[in-house]
């Protein structure tokens, strides 16, 4: 069952990836996607190496100890959508939307942790996921805003 879920997530991720880059400005979304991938992989490896959580069933499991599907595709695509929907928003709206996106990701992760072998928490909790995802998404959002102001 886990392999089916992983392949469905790959397909959904690729479709969302293609759709997300149709909205201008294209360069912003590439930067957001790549920065999110970089930081997510860096933090993901730290968490897995510290044995705070593990991914018993992984996409390309023989090559990576962390979840490359989440860190290189799904989370960066969600972050692109977050940045797109908050592109012209004020601070409180950005925070509110970040809470919504982060909540959706956290609820999904908790569902997978409880009902599948895709992820297993050890010392990690849903609160760690929520806080780290929220901080990373806000960091990327304000980083792209700073990059755009330097023009």
Tens digit of pLDDT for each residue in 83-107? 999 999 999 999 999 999 999 999 9
In a domain, 90, yes or no: yes
21: tokens are 């880059």
In a domain, 23, yes or no: no
Q: Which residues share a beta bridge with 120?
A: 54
> Does the pLDDT at position 30 exceed 90?
yes
In a domain, 22, yes or no: no
At residue 24, the pLDDT reads 87
146: tokens are 């700073």
* Structural domain boundaries, residue 39: 2-15+28-149
In a domain, 20, yes or no: no
In a domain, 21, yes or no: no
Sign of CA dihedral 144, 104, 7, 132: positive
Q: How many domains are contained in the chain?
A: 1
In a domain, 56, yes or no: yes
Per-residue pLDDT of 49-78, as tens digits, reads: 999 999 888 777 666 777 888 999 999 999
Helices (H) and strands (E) in the chain, counts: 6, 2
Alpha-carbon distance 43 to 46, whole Å?
Answer: 5
At residue 67, the pLDDT reads 84
Under the banding of pLDDT at 50, 70 and 90, the label for residue 2 is confident
């Amino acid at each position: 069952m886990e392999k089916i879920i992983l392949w469905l997530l790959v397909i959904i991720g690729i479709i969302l990836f293609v759709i997300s880059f149709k909205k201008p400005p294209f360069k912003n979304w590439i930067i957001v996607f790549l920065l999110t991938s970089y930081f997510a992989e860096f933090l993901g490896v730290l968490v897995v190496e510290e044995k705070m959580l593990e991914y018993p069933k992984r996409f390309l499991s023989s090559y990576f100890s962390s979840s490359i599907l989440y860190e290189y595709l799904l989370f960066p695509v969600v972050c692109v959508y977050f940045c797109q929907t908050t592109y012209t928003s004020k601070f409180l709206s950005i925070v509110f939307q970040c809470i919504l996106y982060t909540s959706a990701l956290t609820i999904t992760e908790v569902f997978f942790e409880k009902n599948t072998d895709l992820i297993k928490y050890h010392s990690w909790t849903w609160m760690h996921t929520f806080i780290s995802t929220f901080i990373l998404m806000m960091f990327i959002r304000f980083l792209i805003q700073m990059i755009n102001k330097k023009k």
